[in-house]
Chain A
Amino acid sequence: MNTAERAVVLELRGVSRVHGEGAAEVHALRDVDLTLVEGELVAVMGPSGSGKSTLLTLLGGLDRPTSGEVFIEGQGLAELSTKQLAAMRRRSVGYVFQDLNLIPTLTAVENVGLPLELDGASRRTARRTALRSLEDVELVELADRFPDEMSGGQQQRVAIARALVGPRRVLLADEPTGALDSQTGEAVLRVLRKRIDRGAAGLLVTHDARHAAWADRIVFLRDGQITDTTASDLSAEALLGSGRHV
């Protein structure tokens, strides 16, 4: 499907974020435009201090821009009260970090169902929906295990399941494979990619080119600005000559 036909899930319009004032003023982001549609995974690369973390916090509604607008599933975040914003985050946005993603005293399925329970769902409904989400990351058989009974890669898959449980369609990931070995990291990305293909949008902050390559687009940030974007749409034939037909 052409990206033009797909629903816009996340959008930044002319977003800037300035920290501090006067001489101490730091422009963390400068006039950034970015749109993510359903089924799209976008990787963000850039040196430290380039604005990657600011971008994630603004997209997740954890901070407000100095100027410009952020939209999640068509809803402008500026129009929401703090309380409405919190509800929006619970229902729409999930985070996956490098580590410490899960609550150690809850099982996998309880961790995944937690945002639903916090949003008022009954324990039973939360469990049923959480199990479906664990199925999506091929981990339903470990539903009743505690985090310390799972490998690092399995824990990250649980975190992905929680990030996109129920109605949630926005996944924001900050170095989600940073603490994993190369093979496990790749297995996590494979699951993440599949889950997003089935109808979500994801923003992946990473410094690892091999991991960024799983994205549809790679965006470079430097000094708070998007300096470049790469997208892959070559056919295998164009890439490797005519010998192969994929």
Chain B
Amino acid sequence: MALLMEGPRHGYQLRAEFEARTGGTWPLNVGQVYTTLQRLERDGLVEGAGEADAEGRIAYVLTTAGRAQAADWFTTPVDKTSDPRDELSIKLALGVGMKGVDIAALVQTQRAATLRQLQDYTRLKRQADEAHDLAWELVLERLIFSAESQVRWLDHVESRVSRALRAEPASATATDADRVRS
């Protein structure tokens, strides 16, 4: 709908523009695009703009209600819909304290993998910068910031876990001492 704010588009154009601006990070198939357009038409948010072209494609435009909703989208914050099943968090939560799981190794393996991703994104960003492709660069920066934050979190996990491990024998002794006293 946001792309329709710029004028009439048919489904293929919408898909091409979406992918060009987001660097193909979230690929769409054209079937999805047309299904969405039909649903929006049913809800009175878009309508066909005139006749089909020579290839039978109908361009769509926003209705007044659709235009209002698209404008609304840009001014409303995104809901906190973080991945409900963050596999890495689950892995760490289950692994901490489990016999035979080396958390330090787990952290290092993940950190190396994330840094590799960060290197790849950075390389793509250099290319995007040289091509003056701002939209694509912004999407890449989002990925870069998110990978960086994961690395920082992993550094934090590593130091927390090693501190906890160092503290463990001391606390065990204290518990034993308490038991003896009682």
Contacts and interface: CB of A to CB of B under 8 A. Distances in A.
Interface of A: 190, 193, 209-210, 212-215, 218, 220, 227-228, 230-232, 234, 236, 239-244, 246
B21 to A, nearest CB: 11
Contact of B119 (A215, A220, A241): A215
B123 interface: yes
> Which interface residue of B25, B112, B115, B148 has the most chain A CB atoms within 10 A?
B115
A227 B25 contact: no
Contact of B27 (A214, A220, A228, A241): A241
A230 B112 CA distance: 6
Interface in B93-115: 108, 112-113, 115
B160 to A, nearest CB: 14
Nearest to B113: A230
B108 A220 contact: yes
> Which interface residue of B118, B121, B147, B151 has the most chain A CB atoms within 10 A?
B118
B112 A220 contact: yes
Contacts of A236: 120, 124
Contact of A239 (B108, B124, B126, B127): B124
Contacts, number: 71
Given A220-B112, A228-B112, A210 B118 contact: yes
B115 A209 contact: yes
A230 B120 CA distance: 11
B112 A213 contact: no
Nearest to B109: A228
Contacts of A220: 108, 112
Contacts of A228: 108, 112
Contacts of B120: 232, 234, 236, 239
B27 A243 contact: yes
Given A218-B115, A230-B119, A232-B116, A243 B25 contact: yes
Contact of A230 (B115, B121, B145): B115
A241 B23 CA distance: 10
A240 B23 contact: yes
B144 A210 contact: yes
Nearest to A215: B119
Contact of B122 (A214, A227, A241, A246): A214
> Which interface residue of B119, B126, B129 has the most chain A CB atoms within 10 A?
B119
A246 B127 contact: yes
Contact of A209 (B23, B24, B27, B118): B118
A213 B119 contact: yes
A232 B151 contact: no
B112 A232 contact: no
B152 interface: yes
B25 to A, nearest CB: 5
B148 A209 contact: yes
Nearest to B15: A243
